[in-house]
Structure 1
Amino acid sequence: MAAPELINDIRVASRQMVRELGFMNSTLAATDYSPSAVHTLLEVGMRGSVTAAQLVQLLGLEKSSVSRMLAKLIRAGELQEVPLAEDARYKKLVLTAQGKESVSRINSYGETRVQQAMEYLDPARQSMVASGLSAYASALEACRKGTPLPPGDKPDIITGYLPGMIGRISEMHANYYSNHYGFGYFFESKVASGLAEFAGRLESERNNIWLAVLDGRVVGSVAIDGEDLGNNEAHLRWFILDDICRGTGIGRQLLARAMQFCDEQQFSAVQLWTFSGLHAARRLYESFGFRLTREWQGEQWGRSMLEQQFTHAMERG
């Protein structure tokens, strides 16, 4: 249990952040829109499209409040409804051209505010702020959703195949990316089929997988595929954590094991493919020496996203 003094310090800082970020005003981020409307535009912009039901979960608001706010944004010309390809009875929300311009202005405003504030902090405190805010935000979300408290014991990290891992890793991917990005069966089936194919090649010394296991249940994973790219390059794949592991350092431990393996195998480089918006994961990748090398609009995840390739060039003495 946190000390009363610590709780009070966090509450004071939280109130100050609310004031400084402008949440006491009726509008936000130099727009004419409410905080909930601004957040909605940002979420739709980051994900490409969402449903009203997904926004209810993302924003933590009542369905009626979300419906009224969406109606205003549609009337204002920021959003439009498009029938879902797999079931025309349901609709998804996408940005209009006007909406994309609004999101661009909101992002520019937000990035400027953060950059200006970061200039008052040294690099060490900048990293501390980023990791601390991320962990605290995840803890607040877990409280709202009623996620069970993490047990006192830390997960064990094991190497190699574990019965049930294909289904469990696919489940973690499907749950996270459905809740946060609206991905559906296409994405889940792609993860499951790719894992199943890779599992058949785990006997190769160039391939490996690491699993974080707690009470017999897989709660995190990362894999290195040393065969699918060729050219003596490794492919980092299926890096995922259960919600109870976020902010615990388990992700860093998994990546450290994977990168140590790549060094031992003397790969010339390690590649990973992801998409824009996964800020916490990107910071972690970059802390291990990965750098963004390519960016393009693609649909390999089942819908149009700003896809990214990160590369870690292995150093050799």
Structure 2
Amino acid sequence: MSPLSALHSIDAIRAASRQLVREFGFMGGAFAGTDLSPSAVHALIELDGGGITARDLAERLHLEKSSISRMLRKLVASGHVREEAGDDDGRVKMLSLTAFGKKRVDAIHAFARGQVVDALGRLRPGQEHTVLEGLSLYANALAAQANGEAGIPASDIVRGYRPGLIARLTQMHALYYARVAGFGQRFESVVASGAAEFCGRLENPRNAIWTAVLDGTIIGTVAIDGEDLGGDIAHLRWFIVDDTVRNSGVGRRLLAAALAFVDEQGFAETHLWTFSGLEAARHLYEKHGFVCAEEWTGAQWGREVLEQRFVRVRP
């Protein structure tokens, strides 16, 4: 791209960003159909799942502690939010929505969905996928910059089967979990057979798999199995990135693509199975709305671990 063309693209993106800010109401007046500030609306949405603290909220909204404290005092006083002492530490206040707050969030979601439906209805068929991909890529790049992550490799996130996928997926799982958990042949065989069986079901529109590809090499995978759990539940499977690109943002991009598909398909819940000790992965899951719903001790992979089931409810 020439310098002149690059400058034109940058200015065009900035102009489009300013237009979005104006159209969404960030400049003042009613926001999301409410009389609340944009930060308060986003806070209520984050609190919808419950079980988070003021510190968690500050991290998610990129706000200072003092700003969060002032906003929460107003939301508590107005009856939107309740504070309760934590189970493990009474000094930590856990935040959740009141019945009034929940009703307000439901109205916010209805208003916002109406905005999106109306806007997408003005596009040509198929253009909604372009909008989703572009917004996701740009938002993820901005988040990586804000979080001080290492430069994201020039990788592509590609949906669908590609030659070598099953073998590469299995290799990344086998090497990583042998190192961090001591899993061996039994685990590797289950991964390989499960991935092979799943790839035979990709013609079902409720199933999908994504790969992160760098210079022709698969460096990450994630899949959504919309069949095996039933009950309108999506199963997030085979989420892994190569050791060479950990902490680069590739995993976050893969997860974002999978969850965008989940929401597009309208699944009520998304479940994933993992085990305790994988803190970086757990932080990423929780940042994307998953909560640990169940824990138990198991040894199905040849070594005893504290297994976990995480659940994300449809926003």
TM (norm. structure 2) is 0.62
3-state SS in 1 of match to 2:139: helix
3-state SS in 1 of match to 2:52: coil
3-state SS in 2 of match to 1:201: helix
CA distance in structure 2 between the partners assigned to 1:247 and 1:303 by the alignment? 17
Q: In the alignment, which of 189, 193, 196 is matched to residue 206 of structure 1?
A: 193
> What is the CA distance between 1:196 and its match in structure 2?
5.0
> What is the CA distance between 1:221 and its match in structure 2?
4.0
CA contact (8 A) 2:292 2:309 kept: no
Q: In the alignment, which of 28, 32, 38 is matched to residue 31 of structure 2?
A: 28
CA distance in structure 2 between the partners assigned to 1:111 and 1:307 by the alignment? 13
Query: In the alignment, does 2:17 pair up with 1:14?
Result: yes
Structure 1, unaligned runs of 5 or more? 171-191, 230-234, 252-277, 309-317
Q: Deviations over 1:181-219 (max 9, x none)?
A: xxxxxxxxxxx7xx959x7332356235999698xxx96
Q: Deviations over 1:97-122 (max 9, x none)?
A: 00000000100110001111111101
Give the aligned partner of residue 313 of structure 2: 306
Give the aligned partner of residue 283 of structure 2: none
Q: In the alignment, which of 219, 222, 245 is matched to residue 250 of structure 2?
A: 245
CA contact (8 A) 1:22 1:28 kept: yes
CA distance in structure 1 between the partners assigned to 2:263 and 2:58 by the alignment? 32
Amino acid at match of 1:9: A
Matched ranges for 1:115-134 at <5 A: 115-134=117-136
> What is the CA distance between 1:56 and its match in structure 2?
1.2
Amino acid at match of 2:50: G
Q: Deviations over 1:215-248 (max 9, x none)?
A: xxx96344899xx98xxxxx76242566522687
Query: In the alignment, does 2:180 pair up with 1:165?
Result: no
Amino acid at match of 1:31: T
> What is the CA distance between 1:81 and its match in structure 2?
1.2
Q: Name which of structure 1's ranges 122-131 and 93-102 shifts more when overlaid on structure 2.
A: 122-131
3-state SS in 2 of match to 1:3: helix
Q: In the alignment, which of 67, 70, 75 is matched to residue 69 of structure 2?
A: 67
Matched ranges for 1:138-157 at <5 A: 138-152=140-154
CA distance in structure 2 between the partners assigned to 1:75 and 1:87 by the alignment? 24
Distance of aligned partners of 1:86 and 1:201 in 2 relative to their CA distance in 1, 3 Å threshold = same
Amino acid at match of 2:16: A
Q: In the alignment, which of 258, 263, 267 is matched to residue 281 of structure 1?
A: 258
CA contact (8 A) 1:48 1:305 kept: no
CA distance in structure 2 between the partners assigned to 1:65 and 1:236 by the alignment? 36
Q: In the alignment, which of 31, 39, 42 is matched to residue 39 of structure 1?
A: 42
CA distance in structure 1 between the partners assigned to 2:25 and 2:100 by the alignment? 23
Amino acid at match of 2:250: C
CA distance in structure 2 between the partners assigned to 1:16 and 1:50 by the alignment? 33
Distance of aligned partners of 1:281 and 1:40 in 2 relative to their CA distance in 1, 3 Å threshold = same
CA distance in structure 1 between the partners assigned to 2:116 and 2:266 by the alignment? 22
CA contact (8 A) 1:208 1:223 kept: no
Amino acid at match of 2:27: M
CA distance in structure 1 between the partners assigned to 2:137 and 2:35 by the alignment? 31
Q: Name which of structure 1's ranges 57-66 and 235-244 shifts more when overlaid on structure 2.
A: 235-244
Q: In the alignment, which of 81, 88, 91 is matched to residue 89 of structure 1?
A: 91
Q: Deviations over 1:254-297 (max 9, x none)?
A: xxxxxxxxxxxxxxxxxxxxxxxx8742443689xx77488999
3-state SS in 2 of match to 1:115: helix
Give the aligned partner of residue 78 of structure 2: 76
CA contact (8 A) 1:224 1:237 kept: yes
CA contact (8 A) 2:223 2:237 kept: yes
3-state SS in 1 of match to 2:96: strand
Say what the alpha-carbon RMSD is for the aligned residues.
4.3
Q: Deviations over 1:35-64 (max 9, x none)?
A: 00000001111x333211111111111111
Runs of 4+ off more than 6 Å: 153-157, 209-214, 293-298, 301-304
Q: Name which of structure 1's ranges 78-87 and 138-147 shifts more when overlaid on structure 2.
A: 78-87
3-state SS in 1 of match to 2:25: coil
3-state SS in 2 of match to 1:203: helix
